[in-house]
Amino acid sequence: MPSPYRALFAAPGSKAFSAAGFLGRMPLSMMGVGVVTMVSQVTGRYGLAGALSATLALSAAAIGPRVSRLVDRHGQRRVLRPATLVALTAAAGLLLAVRFRWPDWVLFVCAAGTGSVPSLGAMVRARWAALYRGTPQLHTAYSFESVVDEVCFIFGPIVSIGLSTAWFPEAGPLLAACFLAAGVFWLTAQRATEPVPHPDERQGGGSALRSAGLRVLVATFVATGSIFGAVDVVTVAFADERGHKGAASLVLALYAAGSCVAAVVFGLLRFGGAPERRWLLGVAAMAVSMIPLLLVGNLPLLAVALFVAGLSIAPTMITTMSLIEEHVPRARLTEGMTWVSTGLAVGVALGSSAAGWAIDAAGARAGYGVPAVSGAVAVVVGFLGYRRLRRPAAGRGGTVEQHSERDVRNLA
Parse the chain into domains and list their residue ranges. Answer: 13-196, 207-398
Cα distances (angstroms) measured from residue 65 to each of 118, 146, 234, 392? 9, 20, 29, 21
pLDDT at 253 (0 to 100):
83
For the chain, how big is the Rg over CA atoms in Å? 21
Spans of the chain below 50 pLDDT? 203-204, 393-412
Q: How far apart are CA 112 and CA 108, in angstroms?
A: 6
DSSP-derived 3-state class of residue 412: coil
Q: How far apart are CA 259 and CA 253, in angstroms?
A: 10
Q: What is the CATH number of domain 13-196?
A: 1.20.1250.20
Q: How far apart are CA 44 and CA 48, in angstroms?
A: 9
The residue count of the chain comes to 412
Asked if residues 293 and 306 have their Cβ atoms less than 8 Å apart, the reply is yes
pLDDT at 405 (0 to 100):
33
Phi, psi at 99, each rounded to 5°: -60, -40
Q: How far apart are CA 28 and CA 351, in angstroms?
A: 18
Cα distances (angstroms) measured from residue 221 to each of 63, 96, 164, 365, 391? 18, 35, 31, 24, 19
CATH 1.20.810.10 fits 207-398, yes or no: no
DSSP state of 382: H
Q: How far apart are CA 31 and CA 36, in angstroms?
A: 9
Phi, psi at 162, each rounded to 5°: -60, -45
Asked if residues 297 and 363 have their Cβ atoms less than 8 Å apart, the reply is no
pLDDT at 204 (0 to 100):
44
199: burial class by Cβ within 10 Å (0-12, 13-18, 19+)?
exposed
Asked if residues 27 and 180 have their Cβ atoms less than 8 Å apart, the reply is yes
pLDDT at 2 (0 to 100):
56
pTM, full prediction? 0.74
Centre a 10 Å sphere on the Cβ of residue 364 and count the other Cβ atoms it contains. Answer: 19
Q: How far apart are CA 214 and CA 199, in angstroms?
A: 22
- Do 13-196 and 207-398 show the same overall fold? yes
| Residue 196 CA from chain centroid, whole number | 24
Nearest partner of 400 among 38, 87, 73, 143, judged by Cα: 143
Q: How far apart are CA 247 and CA 25, in angstroms?
A: 25
